[in-house]
Structure 1
Amino acid sequence: MMDLRSFSNLWFWIALAVMWSSASHWVLGVPYDMVARAARHQGEAEADLERVAYSFVARRLYVAEVAGTWLVVLSSFVLTSLLVLGWGYDIEIAQALSLLGTPMTLVWVISQRAAQRIAREEQRGATLRRTLSRLRIWIQVIGMVSIFVTSVWGIYTNLVRHLDNNSFKAEAVELLQPTQK
């Protein structure tokens, strides 16, 4: 049988770390080392950054235009369901998934706004790098807050909810009783 206690599962914490590491490295689909290389070398590196950034910006804006309403409806339904199941019905896996999904939805929203700004202002060069760098900082801030909140809730869940007091009582009784020979 599958154990749904997410906060005591190592794979949940690995997934959390990988998710936020990837989110802060791939800003709008652009690897951040490409932004840093464009700042150092400019020229061809900057042209590469602009090509990659504009291809991902165009793709993101196209998806939002074609299926944006459905994405908002579906993600709202899923997140609301997870929040109700997690905290209303006290289902731990739903709590864990909502602690992953809710901040990533916020990241999606600020990334969408950054993509719209890049396309609207036709940003190039230093302005594009600055927008991508600021977006990365905000993603990292959201990630740090999310990891902190998830860690606190996970510790609370593991210590308070899953603490089996009977096992500690049995050990304490054995320690207090005199040994018989």
Structure 2
Amino acid sequence: MQWYETIFELIDMRSFSNLWFWIMLAVQWSMTSHWVLGVPFDLVLRARRTGGQAQEDLEAIARVNVNRLLYITHVSGLWIAGFIAFILTLLIVLGFFYGIEFAQAAFCLFFPMVLVSALAVRTAHKVADGDHQGEALMKRLVHLRMGTQFIGMIAILLTSLWGMYQNMHIGVLG
């Protein structure tokens, strides 16, 4: 058996029937809902519970990440938006018009993260405009996490429904 046959057998290109795709989806949403604006959510809970040094750490990390995100957005946001639009269009055309399942799976992973990123940029602007300390910052980060988790739940539901449909459709045809 050739090495590339072994690799393609291990990494099945039919993504929705592949365990690695579902593991990656679970890890993606676990990490995304834990790190809100680059701040680990356990730090938000600890700052809310104990205050003091944890609160100072939270405000410092949030300030650094908000400034970084806003700088990237202001400097190259238009280029990033254009590149993302190109990639999403490419995935939609390849996946849903030409029926390439790998592109469908990539779209299911990538598109919800675009929504989460847009929500994070919006929250970063609000934090920079005034909600950057104390309870207001914690409340803003909790709302961002809830929004992220809501997008994640919908994305996982729709991805699993589409994946089941694809597996049954290919099972009937194959």
Task: Compute the TM-score of the two structures, normalised by the length of structure 1.
Answer: 0.88
1:124 alignment counterpart: 133
Give the SS at the match of 2:129.
helix
In structure 2, C-alpha distance between the alignment counterparts of 1:164 and 1:121, rounded to whole Å: 57
Which runs of no fewer than 5 residues in structure 2 stay unpaired? none
C-alpha distance after superposition, 1:24-77 (max 9, x if no partner): 000010000000000000111101100001100011011111111110000110
1:60 alignment counterpart: 69
Establish whether residue 135 from structure 1 lines up as the match of residue 150 from structure 2.
Answer: no
Which runs of no fewer than 5 residues in structure 1 stay unpaired? 166-181
Give the SS at the match of 1:90.
coil
Establish whether residue 69 from structure 1 lines up as the match of residue 78 from structure 2.
Answer: yes
1:26 alignment counterpart: 35
**Aligned counterpart for 1:90 among listed residues 96, 99, 107:** 99
C-alpha distance after superposition, 1:68-96 (max 9, x if no partner): 11100001100110011110111000000
User: How many pairs does the alignment contain?
Assistant: 165
Q: Percent identity?
A: 48
Large movers: runs of 4+ above 2 Å: 162-165
Establish whether residue 144 from structure 1 lines up as the match of residue 173 from structure 2.
Answer: no
In structure 2, C-alpha distance between the alignment counterparts of 1:113 and 1:68, rounded to whole Å: 13
Establish whether residue 113 from structure 1 lines up as the match of residue 109 from structure 2.
Answer: no
CA drift of 1:164 comes to: 5.5
In structure 2, C-alpha distance between the alignment counterparts of 1:45 and 1:114, rounded to whole Å: 21
Task: Compute the TM-score of the two structures, normalised by the length of structure 2.
Answer: 0.92
Establish whether residue 48 from structure 1 lines up as the match of residue 54 from structure 2.
Answer: no
In structure 2, C-alpha distance between the alignment counterparts of 1:88 and 1:129, rounded to whole Å: 43
2:47 alignment counterpart: 38
